[in-house]
Structure 1
Amino acid sequence: MARRPTADRLLSTEAIGRLRRAAMLSVAAGLFWPLQAMALAWGVQGWVSGADATRSLVAAAFFAGWGLLRAVVERMSARQCYAAADGVIHKLRQGVVTREALRPEGATSSAALAAMLTEKLAALGPWITRYRPAMLRAKVLPLVFIAVAASMSWPVALILLIAGPLIPLFMALVGMAAKEASAKQMVEVGALNSLLIDRIAAMPDILLLNAGAASRAAFEARADGLRARTMSVLRVAFLSSTVLELFSALGVALVAVYVGFSLLGVFHFGTWGAPLTVGEGVFLLLLAPEFFQPLRDLASAWHDRAAAEAVADEVDALTADETPAVLGQGGDAAPLPGPASVHLKGVTVRRGGAVLALPDLEVAAGESVALQGPSGVGKSTTLDLVAGLTRPETGVVEVAGQPLTDESADAWRARIAHVPQSVHVPDMTLRRFLDPHDSGTDMRRALERARAAEIVAALPEGLETRLGETGAGVSGGEARRLLLARAFLTGAEVVLADEPTADLDAATGTAITAALTELAAEGRTVIVATHDTSLAGALGRVVTLEAAP
C-alpha cells in the first residue's frame, strides 16, 4: 500500500533545520518557568516566615530576570519558525507557479490555482510555526516537570502522570475527524473560488440573459456550503479544546486539593520525610498548569497539522498530474536562426490513455498551408506541436532546420504569432499587448491591414483599454483580428491560426481571411487549422488529416 502523503514532506532541509533549532529554543524557554516559580515560591515562603523585604525584592528580581531571558529565547524561537514558514510557502508557491506556467492551457483551473496559491498554502503557516516546537515541548517539558514535582511530592507527580496522557489520547481521536473536516473545507474553498471566477468571466452573458438572480443563488448556495464546512472544523476544534481543558482542570484541581490538605495537616503522606512547606506548595501549584501548557499548545497545533495534511494532499494531487509541460521556459529569447520552415516526421501525441498518430508534414519557409479534416484528427494538436505547446510522444518536430527542444523552443516562439480559438489577454493596455517590444511600428497601419482599426476606435479608451483575461469588450472574431494586427506589428515570420473564422459572421470571416492571405503574400509562413473551405482555398496548399481507422 502506498504511503499516505504527509505535510512533513513539504518541508525543505533548511526549514527542518530551522524548526529543529526553534524547537530546542522553545524547550529551553519552557525550562525557565520552574526557575521563575522557584523564585516566586521562595519569596512567598519569606512572607510567611516573616523575612524582611529584601528577600521579596531579590525574589522579584530573579523572577523578572528569568522571565526576561525566557522572552528573549522565545523570540529567537519564533524568528526561526517564521523564517522557516516564509521559506517553505515561498518555495511551494514559486514551484506551483513555475510548473503551471509551463503546462498547456486549461490543465488546471485558474480559480483552483488561485485558491492554492493564496488561501491553501497560507494555511501551512500556523502548522510550520507551531507544530514541531509544540511537539518537542510536549515530549520534554511534562517529563521534566513530573521529575521536579516527584522530588517534592510523589502524589503530585502521580496525578500529573495519570492526567497528562489522557489529553494526547483524546487529541489523536479527535484529530482523525479534524483531518476529514479540514479536507472537506479545502475542497469547498476551491469550489467557491472556481465558481467566482466562472461567474466573473461570464458576467456580460449573465447580464445579457438577465440571469443575475440565478447566478447569485448558486453563489449563495456554495458560500453556505463553505460556511457549513468551516463550522464543522470549528466544532471539532471546540470539542478537542473542551476535552483538553476538562482533564487539565481536573489535574490542576487535584494538585490543589492535595497541596491544600497537606498544608492544613490533613494529609501526612507524599513527601520525602519533612511535611510540605508553604513555599513547596506554591511551587507545585505554579508548576501544575505549566505541565499542561505544552499539551495545550500541541492540541492547538494538532488542528493546524490537520489542515496542513489536507493541503499536502492537494499539493500531491497537483504535482502528480503528469500532463507534459510545454517546451522551453516561456521567457524572452533571441529569435532562432534558420528558415521559417516546419517538418513533422513520425509524430505521435498522447491524449489521456490513447496515442494519436499524426501524418508527416513539411511546410517550407514562406508557404501557406490549411490543415483540414474532421474534429479530433489532430489539427489543433499539430499547431500546438509546432508552437512547442505540446510534447510529442514519439517522432521529431523540426523547425528552422533543427529539432524543437526545450533549448530552442523559446527562441522559435520569438518568431511566431499564435491565434488560438480562445484568446487570453494579459493585464496590460491594448497598446502594449499589440506592440510588446515597443518597436515604434505604425500601429494604425497594422490595425488597418488586420481589419481591426474600427475595433479599437469603438473601445472606450482606444489603445489604452485593458480588455482583461477573456478579452471582455470585444467579440471572439474581433479578438482574433487584434492578434493578427499583433502579427503585423511584431513582424512574426510564422503565423499559426486555429479555426480563426469559426463561429463568425461572413463579413468578419472574410476580413480574417483577407488578413491571413496578406500575411502569406508577404512571405510569412502561415499554417491554419480550419473547417472553412473558403479560407482553405485562399491559402497555397491544403493538407487533409484523416481520422484513424
Structure 2
Amino acid sequence: MVARQRRQDTSSVRPARGTGITAPIAHALRFAGLLSVLAGLIWPIQAAALAWAIAGWIAGDMGRTPWAAAIFVAGGFLRAFCDHRAGQILFDAADQTISHQRAALITREARARAPLGSAEIAALIVQKLPLLQPWITRYSIAMIKVAVLPLVLLLISFWFSWIVGLVLLVAGPLIPVFMILIGMAAEQASRRQMDEIGSMNAMVMDRLSAMLDIRLLGAADKALADFSDRAEALRIKTMAVLRIAFLSSTVLELFSAIGVAMVAVFVGFTLLGEITFGSWSAPLSLGEGLFLLLIAPDFFQPFRELAAAWHDRAAGLSVLAELDALDGAERAPFLGEARAARPLDGPLTLSLAGVVAALPGRRVTLPDFSLKRGQSLALIGESGAGKSTGLAALAGLVPLADGQITVCGHRLDHETADAWRARIALVPQRPHFPDQPLYAWLDPDKRHTDPWPALKRAEVDQVVLRLPYGLRTRLGETGGGVSGGEARRLMIARAILSGRELILADEPTADLDPDTAAMIIRALMHLKENGHSVIVATHDPDLAALMDRRVEVGQ
C-alpha cells in the first residue's frame, strides 16, 4: 500500500509528454507561427513591387521606382521584425520547456530512482533534452508555414496562370511524400543514436569508477579498446542519421529545382511569344511573368525549412520516446518529503515485523529484529542477499511491499520518515561530497560545533591537517584527495558531530587494509560506548563479532 501511495505521489512531478509537452507554450507557438506566416506573406507584396518597377523600366516609366523601393524596404524591415520577434518567442518557449522538463526529471529521479544508471539519466538531462529546442523552434513553425504559405502562393499563381499553378501543384506534394518515407528511417536512426549515447555514457562512468581496479589488473588496453569500439559504433549511428538528413535535402532540392525551372521555361517562352496558352486570357505580361518567377522559389521555401527541420523532429521524437519509457519504469520511491524536520519524539527503539522491501522487479524479505538505544547489530549474509537494501528500508529510503517497521513507538511511514531520519546518521560504502567546504559538510545541521573533537575520535584529524586548505578544502564529488578509508572516517566524524543516535553503516570496512579497517572499527565502537546505537551491514567477521547481535539476511 505504501509503495502504491508513493507512486501516486511521485506522479505529480511527472513531466508532460507527447503533445502535452508543448501545452504550456501553445499560445507562444501560435503567436510565433502567426508572425512567421505574416513574414512569409509580405514577400509576394515585395515581389509585386519589384516586378512592377522593372516592368516600368522596360516601358520607360522610372516614376514607379521610388514607390516600389519604399514598399520593398518597408516590407524588408517588417519581415525582419516579424522573424526576429518570432525567433525570440520560440527560443524563450524552448528554454522554458527544457527547464521545466529538466527540473521535473531531477525532482522525480531524486525522489524515486528509475532502474537506470546515473550516467544514462545524466545523458538524458544534459545531452538529449536540449535536442527538444530545434524541434520546438524549427519543426513546429515549419509545419505551420507549410500549411499556409504554399497554399496562398499556389492560389496566387493560379490567378495569373493555370500552367504555373499546375506545375507547382504537381511538384509540391511530391516533396512531403518523399519526406515522410525518409522520415521513418530518420526516426529509427535517431533512436538508435540516442540509445548509443546513453550506453556510451554509462560505460564511461563505469570504467572511470573502476579505473584503479582496471589499472591494477592490467586491463587498461582492453578498456581502451572497448571504449574505441563503442565510440566507433556511435560514429556509425551518427553518420547514418546524417546520411538520411542529406538524402532528404537532396530530394527536396531536386523537386524544387525542377519546379522552378519549369516555371522559368514557361514564363520565358511566353514572353518570347513561343507559348500563347497557359493564361486565363491574354498572354502573360513582363510584370506578371517576373512576379511569378519571384514567388516560385518561395513556394518551395517552407518545404525546404520543413526538410531541414525533419531531422530535428526525428531527434525530438526519439527524446520523447525515451522520456515516455522512463515515465513507465518501475520505481522505488522513498518515504517522506526529504525536508528538514524535528527529530521524532520518544526513546530510540527500532523493530521489524514481516518486512518485505519493494525494489523494482524484486522483493527482499528482511528478518524480524528489534533494537534499543546503545545496542549494536550486524546484518550479515552473502553478496546480493539484501543487506544494503535492509539499511535503506530502515531509513525509509525503500518502500515496503509488506510488513511494518516501528521506530520510537511510531510506524515508519510517509508522515514520520523525515522526523525519523533526523535521528539517523548514514555511513555509506561510497561517500558523496557536495561542492562545499569540508567544515560546512561536517555540520549539515548548522550546529556550529567545534569539529576537531569528532575528527580526533574518528582518527581522521591528521588527514584534515594534511589537506591543502584544511577544513576549507572542497573535496571532489567522490572524495578526491582522500582515500576510501579516510572518506569513511570523515563520514563517521560527521555522524559524531551530528549527535544523531542511530548509526547505519554499509560495509564500512570493505576493500580496506587491516590497519584502516581497524580505525573504522574503533571509531564505530567508540560511538557505541558513548550511547549510540549501531547497525552495520558487513562481510567482515571481526566487525560482526564486536556487535551485540548478528542477524542473517536472505535465509
TM-score by length of 2: 0.91
1:275 aligns with 2:283: yes
Q: CA deviation at 1:485?
A: 0.9
Partner of 2:25: 15
Deviation string for 1:187-223 (max 9, x for gaps)? Answer: 2222332333334434445555665554444333332
Q: Distance in 2 between matches of 1:23 and 1:484?
A: 59
Distance 2:524 2:100 in 1: 44
Secondary structure of 1:527's counterpart equals strand
Alpha-carbon separation, structure 2, partners of 1:338 and 1:20 = 59
What's the CA shift for 1:503?
Answer: 3.6
* 1:515 Cα deviation from its structure 2 partner: 1.6
Q: Compared with structure 1, are the counterparts of its residues 100 and 354 closer, same or farther at alpha carbon in structure 2 (3 Å cutoff)? A: closer
The alignment status of 1:35 with 2:45, answered yes or no, reads yes
Whether 2:479 is the aligned partner of 1:468: answer no
1:155 aligned partner, one-letter code: I
Are positions 1:125 and 2:133 aligned together? yes
Amino acid at match of 1:33: W
Counterpart contact for 1:377–1:545, Cα < 8 Å: no
- Matching residue's letter, 2:230: R
Stretch deviating more after TM superposition (194-203 or 520-529): 194-203
Residue 552 of structure 2: aligned partner: 545
What's the CA shift for 1:353?
A: 4.0
| Number of residue equivalences | 540
Aligned-CA RMSD value: 2.4
The residue number in structure 1 matching 2:296 is 288
SS of residue in 1 equivalent to 2:475:
coil
Listed as ranges, the matches of 1:173-322 within 5 Å are: 173-206=181-214, 212-322=220-330
Give the structure 1 partner of residue 112 of structure 2.
103
CA distance in 2: counterparts of 1:338 and 1:83, whole angstroms: 52
2:78 corresponding residue in structure 1? 69
2: CA distance, partners of 1:135 / 1:12: 14
Greater shift in the superposed pair: 79-88 or 122-131: 79-88
One-letter amino acid of the counterpart of residue 38, structure 1? A
Following superposition, the deviation at residue 543 of structure 1 comes to: 4.4
Partner SS for 2:58: helix
Using the alignment, how far apart are the partners of 2:551 and 2:146 within structure 1?
71
Matched, 1:482 2:497: no
Aligned to 1:49: 59
Work out whether residues 359 and 398 of structure 2, in 8 Å CA contact, stay in contact via their aligned partners in 1: no
Q: State how far apart, in whole Å, the 2-side matches of 1:390 and 1:353 are.
A: 13
Q: Deviations over 1:481-538 (max 9, x none)?
A: 2211111111122111122233433333332222222212222222222343433343
> Any conservation in 2 of the 1:81–1:128 contact (CA below 8 Å)?
yes
The one of 14, 25, 38 equivalent to 2:35 is 25
TM-superposition CA deviations, 1:420-471 (whole Å, max 9, x none) = 2222222333333222344332322212211223433454544344432333
The answer for the alignment partner of 2:162 in structure 1 is 154
Helix, strand or coil for the counterpart of 1:31? Answer: helix
Other structure's SS at 1:276 match: coil
Shift of 1:140: 1.4
CA distance in 2, matches of 1:376, 1:292: 62
Shift of residue 236, structure 1, vs aligned partner: 0.9
Instruction: Measure how far apart 1:544 and its partner are.
Output: 2.2
Contact 2:332 2:360 in 1 (8 A): no
> Which letter does structure 1 place at the counterpart of 2:399?
R
1:141 and 1:194 map into 2 onto residues whose CA distance is 45
For structure 1, which runs of at least 5 residues remain unmatched after alignment?
1-5
Distance 1:481 1:107, change over 3 A: farther
Identify if the C-alpha distance between structure 1 residues 352 and 326 changes in structure 2 by more than 3 Å, giving closer, same or farther: closer
Q: CA deviation at 1:51?
A: 0.9
Structure 1 residue ranges (4+ consecutive) displaced by more than 6 angstroms after TM superposition: none
Structure 2 gaps of 5+ residues are: 1-15
Deviation at 1:234, TM superposition (A): 1.2
Identify the residue that residue 3 of structure 1 maps to in structure 2: none
**Is this contact kept in 2: 1:10–1:312, CA < 8 A?**
no
> What secondary structure sits across from 1:336 in the alignment?
coil
Task: Measure, in 2, the Cα distance between the counterparts of 1:123 and 1:10.
Answer: 17
Q: 1:10, CA displacement in angstroms?
A: 5.4
Amino acid at match of 2:77: L
CA distance in 2: counterparts of 1:466 and 1:207, whole angstroms: 27
